[in-house]
Structure 1
Amino acid sequence: MTAVRAAGAEPRETSGVTTAGLLTYVATHGEPDAVARLLELAGVSYTAEELADQSRWFSYATRVRLFSAATEVLGDPDVMFHVGAAALRSGLAHSLELVLRALGSPRQVFRRLPRAVAKFTTVSSMEILETTATSARTALHLHEGYEHSALDCDFARGLATTVPQLFGLPAGVVTSAECRTGDGRTCIYEVSWERRSRLRRRRNSGTDTDRELAALRGQLRTLQSTATELAGSDDLDTVLRQIVARAGQAVLAPAHLLAVAAPGGGPPLVHSAGLPYEEAQELARRLLADEDLGPRAVVVDVASARRRHGRLAAVYPSGDGSMADEQAMLAAYAGHAAAALELLFALDGARLEAERAGALLSLAHELAAADAVDAICQVVANALPRVVGCDSASVMLWDPSTGQLQARASADVGRPKQEVFFETPLRPEESPELLELLSTREPRIIRDGEGSPAVRSLLAQIGVTDVVALPLVTDGIFLGIATASWTTEAAPGELTGDVLVRLQGVGDQAVSALQRARLLETVRHQAHHDALTGLPNRVLFLERLLAELPSAGPGAHLGVLFCDLDRFKQVNDVLGHAAGDELLRQVAARLGAAIRPGDTVGRLSGDEFAIILPGLLDAADAHGLADRVVDCFDEPFRLEGREVTVGTSVGVAVHQPGSDAEELLRQADAAMYRHKQGQSSPRPA
C-alpha cells in the first residue's frame, strides 16, 4: 500500500490529527516559545496554524522531523510516548472519537485498529495478533521505502494506551514491546487494561457519558463552524475547495473527492485532495454515474431538499480504512455543503440573470448606435456570449443573389479560425441543416459528429463542437442566422425554457436593427445614387472626386471626363420617354464596361455623365480613355425593337495644382461643349 499523493504536492502520509496533537502537547508542557522553537528546529515550511489543522495531511519526513524537534525542545527522550498517551486530552478528532466509542469496548476497538491506523498514517499498517477482554497484542509494519523511527514507534505505543480511556477506563499499560523485529520493519507491543466491572464503584458514573457528550459537542461545533465558513464565501470554486478541505474534519482519510454537476450544464466540477488528477477525474465519473467505489471509499450524496448536487467521498489507499458510522458523519457534513451550494447557486443564478438582463439592455443601446449592417452583426455576435453563456458566436446573412449564407461577424474566435469562417459560405445544396432552417425557420442544435460533411468540416476548422443556430426572419423573409457555439460539452441539451428565451430576445433585437439598417441603406443609396441607372448622382460623384484630390500629383494625375449624349431629346420625342430611359440605362452599362476598375461613372443630370480617372501615369492618358468612351457608342442601341445610333460628346480635364473639384468638373464640362460644337450627331433611325 502506498501513500496517496496529489501530483506536485508533498505526500499525504501523516494526518493533521497527529501534528495538531503534537503542537498542543508542546505548547502545554513547554516554554512560551516552545512551538516556535519546534518549527525552527524541524525546518518545516508550514505554520503552526497549518500543522494544527486536523483536516490536512503531511509527509512522513515532516512527521519525523517534528517528532525529533519535540524531543529536543522538551528535553524528554520519552516525549513521543507521552504525546501519544495525551491524544485524547490534546484534542483527538471528535469524529474519530465518536466512531471508536461506537464500537462498545476496548477489545472491539483494538480489533478495528487496522482500519483506524489509516486515519493517522499511510506509511504503516497494523496487524492484531491477539486480543482478550483486557489486553491486545499488535504488530505495526512500516512500509518499504521508509526509514524506521523509534520516536514514531513510541508515539504509536502511547496512542494505544488511550483506547481504554474512550470508555471511561484508566489508560492502558504497555506490558511488552519489541522494536524492529523480524524484517526490521515491524514493532510488536502488548497493551493491557482493567476490567470495567472492577471500577464500577470507584468511577464517576457520569464520566463516560460526559466524554461522549463532549465529543458530540465538539463535532457539532466543527460542523457549525464549517457551515459558517462555507456560507461566508460567494465564489463557487472557493466553496468547492473548502468543502473538500473540511471534509477531513468529518471523516479522517488520506484523500477526499467532490464531484458536482455544473449548475449551467457541461462537464462536472471536480475537486479533490490527495488524489492524482487522472484518478480524481475517473473516480468522479464513477461517482456521478452512481457506481460503487467499493470498500476503499465512504460515499454520500451532496443533496438538499430541492436537488442532488453531486457526491462526496472519503478515499483510502485500500479497503482497510473506512469504519462504522463514518457514512452518517460524512452525510451530516455533506448536508451543510449542499446548503452552501444551494445558496451559492441561487446567488450565482440571480447574479447571472442580472448580468444577462444588463447585457440585453446594453445590446439594445449598442444596436441603437449602430447604423451599418456589418456593425450591427458584430454587436449581436459580441452580445451572444454575455447573454447566452456560449464560448463563441457569429452572425451569417443570406445573400439571395448567390443563394448562400455568408459570415458577416464573429466573436471570441481566433484570427486564423476567423479567416476560415469568413471564407467559407454555406449553401443549401451542401448542408441539409441550412435547408431545414430555410424551410422551418425554427432554431436548432447542430452537434459535432451529427451534421453534414460541410458543416462538420467548418466546425472542425473553427474549433467548436456544438452550435445553436437561430434563424433571423422578418415578415416571412429569411435574413440569415445568429449562432451560439461551444468548444466543450457545455451546450444545452435541448432548446427550451430560459436558453430559448434569451436566444430569441437577441434574435428579435437583431432583426429589428437589420431592418432599420437596410432601410437606412436604401435611403442613403437613394440620396446618393441615380434612381434610373443606379450610378452615383452629382452629390456622391463630387464627394468621390473631392476624396481623390489629395492623391493627385505627378505620376498619379487625376482626370475627369464629361459626357453628353448627342440629340438625346430626339430619342425621347420620336420613341418616347420609356425608350429614353432605356437608352440611359444602356449608356450607363457601356460606360461602366469601358472604364478601368478604379474609375467612377456618375450621372449628373438628364443625359450628362461624368467619369473620375484617378492615378493616371500621364495627363495624355485621359484623352486615350476619352477615345475609348467615344468608341463604346459605335455599336447602335436596341430600343423599342429598333436599332438606334446615338453618339456622345466628351470633354477632358486634368487636375492642376490649386483647382478644386467643382472647378475640375467645370473645365471638363467646357471641354465637352467645345467637342460638341466641332461635330454633329446622327439622327435616330
Structure 2
Amino acid sequence: MTPAPAEARETSGVTTALLVAFVRERGGDAAVEETLHRAGVPFSAAELSEPSTWTSYDTRIRLFTAATDVLGDPDAMYRMGAESLRNGMNATVVLLVRAMGSPRQVYARLPRAVTNFSTTSTMEVLESDATSATVRYVLHEGYVHSRLDCDYARGLISMVPTIFGLAPARVVHDECESSGAEACVYHLSWDRRLRPWRRRGAPAADPEITALRAQVRSLQSAATDLVDGGDLEAVLPRIVERAAAAVLAPAYLLAVSSPRGGAPLVHSSGLPAGEVPALTARLLAGGDLGPGAVVVDVRSARRTHGRLAALGRAGEGGLGDERAMLAAYAGHAAAALDLVMALEDSRMEARRAGALLELAHGLAQTVDVHDICQTVVTTLPSIVGCGSSGVLLWDPAGAVLRTAASAGLPPEQEALMRAATLRADDVPELFAMLTDREPRALSATGSSGPLRDLLSTLGLTAAIAVPLLAGSTFLGVVTASWSQGEASGAADADVLARLRGVGDQASTALQKARLLETVRHQATHDALTGLPNRALFRERLAAALAASPATGSVGVLFCDLDRFKAVNDTYGHAAGDELLRQVSARLRAAIRPGDTVGRLSGDEFAVLLPRLSGPGDAESVVARVAEGFVEPFRLEGIPVDVGTSTGVAVHTGGTAEASAVAEQLLRDADADMYRHKQRDRPASPVPRPRD
C-alpha cells in the first residue's frame, strides 16, 4: 500500500516489517495491535510489513517506544535487531550480504548502503581489519536522537557475522548521541571461526538457503500479484510497489511503452512529481541517473516493455549486486506485462467487435442521413482507436464538404468543425481525393494551409480521411483524428483497414438512405413541379390543424387555372407542362414563409396557411396570388394570359379530429373556388396571346 501523502519517506519498510514480526513473535497479534494503537501511526500491520512502505523518523521512534512498552522489555529494540535474521530479515538483504564473502566486506560497504534503510543518518567506518571495525553513526541535524534507535542499530550491526555462520559480533558502545556525544561510535569485534554447530554438522537452517527460499517465494508471490492486477493501470503501481522486495531504495521509477502507442506509461514512488518527467526522459534514453541508481530493462522473451529504476541518494550505492536482484524481478514483471497486454489486446478486440456489431445494427435500423452519420461517428473511436471522428458530406452543387456529424471534440471545437466548409478549389487534398478516390493522411504540420489551420483550430495533430463512395459517386469522407498526447494511428495500416471498413458500411447506408429519400420524395411530391402532392398536402394540413391553438386559425386556398385544357389543345402538352411549372413558381413567390403550396391534380393547386390570426388574414394571401396571374406567362416565347379561380376555407381553434377537418376544409375551399369560377369567369373559350 502507498503511504499517506503527509508521511515523510525516511525509514524503509524493512525496519517496520522487522518490528511487526518481532512484536508478533513475542506477544502475538494483540501485542501488534496495541503497539500500533499506542504509537498512533496511520498504517496497518500489513502496510508496515511491506518493504515499499516508507515512514518518517518520528513514526519509527514512536513504534520503537510503543513496542518496548507493550513487551515490557527495555532491551526489546536491541533484541529486535540482533534477532532480525530469525524474525524475517528481507531476503534480498541477506543474499546480498552473503555474496560479499565476509563480515569485513559487509561493514566496509554498509555506510554506502545505509540510505536504502534510512535517510536521516550517516555512517562511516573509521577503521577495520579481519576481525574488528569501528563505525561512526551520526543523526542528521533537526532530528532528536533516541536511545531505542541506537539499541536497534547495535543489535542489527551485531547480527552481520551470523549470516556467515559465525557468532554475533561483540559491540562496545561508549559514545552515544543520547548521552551528549557528537556521534554514536560502535567498536565491533568478531570471531573468524564457525560456530560449534557448524563444525559438528548439526542440523540447522543455513541463512543463505533460507533467504533463497524466501526470495523464490517472494518472486512467485510477486508474479501472482502482478497477474491478478487485471488491467495495465492497476499493474504498473504494483510493479513499483513490489520492486521494493527485490531492491531496497528510497524511490523507484517505471516507464513502459503504451500498448496503444504514444507517450510511455510512467509510475513512480518516492519522487517529487516535478522531477519525474526529466528522470523519465533520462531513464528511457539510457542516461545516467546517478551512482545510487540501479536500472534494468523490463524485458520478456517477447518484447522489451521499458525500464525500471531503484533510485538511491546521489553519491551512495547499495550493498552489492542489486542489479541482478532487480533484473530477476523485472523478468517476472515483464512476463506479467505480456499477459496483461495480451488481455488488454483481447479486451480491445472484443470492444472493437462489439462496436462493429453496434455499428452494423445501428445502420440497419436507420434510414435517416443525419442518424447514419451520428451512428458512424459515435462508434468509430472504439473501432479505430482514435480520439475524435467526423463525417463530412459532399455538396456537388457548391463543390464543398460540410460536416454532418462529429464526436470526441470539446463543444467549442465541435461547433467550429460543424461550421467549417472545405472547397475543392482551396484544398489540394480534397481535389486529389475527388480524382483518385484514395484515403489521405493529414497532419497539423504537413498538410495544405486550409487543413493546417482547421486542424490547429480543432487542437488536432493528425487525421485520416477515407472517401465515402457509392460506386463511382463521391458522397463525402469519414475521418479519424488524434489530438496532442493521444497515440496517433494515422500511419497504422490496421487503423486504415478498419476505417475503410467503416467507410464502406457508411457508404452503403448513405446510398440506401438517399435511395429511400428519393422514393419517399417521389411518393409525396409531384414529379412535374416538385410540389407536395395531395397525400403530403393533406398530411401537412392535418398536422397544422392539430397544432393550432384555440385562438389560432388555419386556412386553405384552392386554385384552379382558367381554361387550362384550351392551353393544351392550342399550344400542346409541353406548353401545358411548362405553364404548370411557371404557376407553381409564382404561387411559391406569393405565399408567406411557413406556408405550403401543393399540386393536388391536373391544374388544381392548393395553399396551406397554418398561422392566421383570423379568417380575414387569408384574403391578403388571396390578393397576392391574384397579382401573380396579372402578368402573362411565356409559353414557347409567346406571352399568354391565364387566370385562376381561388376558393378559401378557414378553420379556427384546435381539433382532435384533424384528419376529418382537413378533408372538410379541402371540400369547402373547392366549393368556394367553383362559386368564384361561376360568378367571375368571362366566357372566352381560348386564352389569347398578347400582341
What is the alpha-carbon distance in structure 2 between the residues aligned to residue 494 and residue 614 of structure 1?
A: 52
**Could you say if the C-alpha distance between residues 379 and 31 of structure 1 is closer, same or farther in structure 2, counting changes exceeding 3 Å?**
closer
- Contact preservation (8 Å) 2:290, 2:314: no
1:466/1:401 CA distance change after superposition, 3 Å: same
CA shift, 1:77, in A, is: 2.4
**2:340 counterpart residue number:** 344
Matched, 1:378 2:374: yes
Among candidates 238, 244, 257, match of residue 240 of structure 2: 244
Match of 2:284 in 1: 288
Matched residue SS, 1:271: strand
- Alpha-carbon deviation of 1:313? 1.0
Q: Which residue of the partner structure matches residue 146 of structure 2? A: 149
Deviation at 1:73, TM superposition (A): 1.7
* Cα drift, residue 452 of structure 1: 4.3
- Whether the 8 Å CA contact 2:146–2:178 is kept in 1: the answer is no
Q: Deviations over 1:188-207 (max 9, x none)?
A: 222111124x8799735689
Q: Counterpart amino acid of 2:688? A: P
Aligned counterparts, 1:192-591, within 5 A: 192-196=189-193, 203-204=199-200, 210-552=206-548, 556-591=552-587
The alignment status of 1:79 with 2:48, answered yes or no, reads no
In the TM superposition, residue 308 of structure 1 has moved relative to its aligned partner by 0.6
Matches within 5 A, 1:67-146: 67-146=64-143
**Counterpart Cα distance in 1 of 2:519 and 2:200:** 100
The answer to whether residue 672 in structure 2 is matched with residue 679 in structure 1 is no
- Map Cα deviations across residues 443-495 of structure 1 (whole Å, 9 max, x no partner): 23333344445434444554444322222122122211222233343343544
Paired residues of 1:446 and 1:467 also in contact (CA < 8 A): yes
CA contact (8 A) 2:386 2:488 kept: no
Q: Is the 8 A contact 2:260 2:487 kept in 1?
A: no
**Is this contact kept in 2: 1:266–1:488, CA < 8 A?**
no
Paired residue secondary structure (1:655): strand
Distance 1:505 1:31, change over 3 A: closer
Residue 218 of structure 1: how far off its partner (Å): 1.4
Instruction: Please state whether the residue corresponding to 1:90 is helix, strand or coil.
Output: coil
AA at the equivalent of 2:210: A
Normalising by structure 1, we get a TM-score of 0.94
Aligned to 1:669: 670
CA shift, 1:182, in A, is 12
1:623-634 aligned within 5 A: 623-634=619-630
Distance between the aligned counterparts of 1:155 and 1:565, measured in 2?
114
Query: 1:545: how far off?
Result: 0.6
Deviation at 1:515, TM superposition (A): 0.6
1:65 and 2:62 equivalent? yes
Relative distance call for 1:136 and 1:478 in structure 2 (3 A) is same
**Contact 1:563 1:648 (8 Å CA) reproduced:** yes
Deviation readout 1:139-188 (Å, 9 max, x if unpaired): 22222332222211221122111121221111111134311299966322
Q: CA deviation at 1:58?
A: 1.5
Higher mean C-alpha displacement, 586-595 vs 208-217: 208-217
CA separation of 1:666 and 1:213: change in aligned 2, threshold 3 A: same
Q: Displacement, 1:353? A: 1.0
> Compared with structure 1, are the counterparts of its residues 603 and 259 closer, same or farther at alpha carbon in structure 2 (3 Å cutoff)?
same
**What value does the CA root-mean-square deviation take over the aligned residues?**
2.5
Shift of the 476–174 alpha-carbon distance from structure 1 to 2, 3 Å rule, reads same
How far 1:645 sits from its partner (Å)? 2.2
Structure 1 residue 267: Cα displacement: 2.1
Distance 1:605 1:347 in 2: 67
Conservation of the 8 A alpha-carbon contact between 1:19 and 1:51: yes
User: Is the 8 Å Cα contact of residues 143 and 185 (structure 1) preserved in structure 2?
Assistant: no
Task: Name the residue aligned to 1:601.
Answer: 597
Question: Structure 2 counterpart of 1:193, which letter?
Answer: W
1:553 is displaced (CA, Å) by: 5.7
In 2 relative to 1, CA 469–183 (structure 1 residues): closer, same or farther, beyond 3 Å? farther
When structure 1 is superposed on structure 2, of 445-454 and 482-491 the one drifting more is 445-454
Q: Deviations over 1:209-246 (max 9, x none)?
A: 93222221211111111112222332222221211111
Residues 182/473 of structure 1: CA separation in 2 closer, same or farther (3 Å cut): farther
**Matched letter for residue 65 of structure 2:** S
- CA drift of 1:280 comes to 2.4
How many residues get paired?
Answer: 680
Amino acid at match of 1:595: I
Looking at structure 2, the residues matched to 208 and 141 of structure 1 have their Cα atoms a distance apart, in angstroms, of: 37
Q: CA deviation at 1:582?
A: 1.4
State the distance in 2 between where 1:95 and 1:202 align.
23
Q: What letter is aligned with 1:42?
A: A
Could you tell me how far 1:247 is from its partner in structure 2?
Answer: 0.6
Give unmatched runs, 5+ long, in structure 1: none
Q: Relative to 1, partners in 2 of residues 1:349 and 1:118: Cα closer, same or farther, differing over 3 Å? A: same
Q: Which runs of 5+ in 2 are unaligned?
A: none
Alignment equivalent of 1:613, drawn from 609, 613, 617: 609
Q: Residues 396 and 480 of structure 1 are in contact (CA less than 8 Å); yes or no, is this contact kept in structure 2?
A: yes
Q: Is the 8 A contact 1:437 1:443 kept in 2?
A: yes
Q: Does 1:639 align with 2:639?
A: no
Structure 1, 553-562 or 83-92: larger mean CA deviation: 553-562
Quote the Cα distance in structure 1 between the aligned partners of 2:75 and 2:231: 47
Counterpart among 168, 172, 192 of residue 171 in structure 1: 168
Mark the CA change 1:264 to 1:679 in structure 2 (over 3 Å): closer, same or farther. same
SS of the residue corresponding to residue 582 of structure 2 reads helix
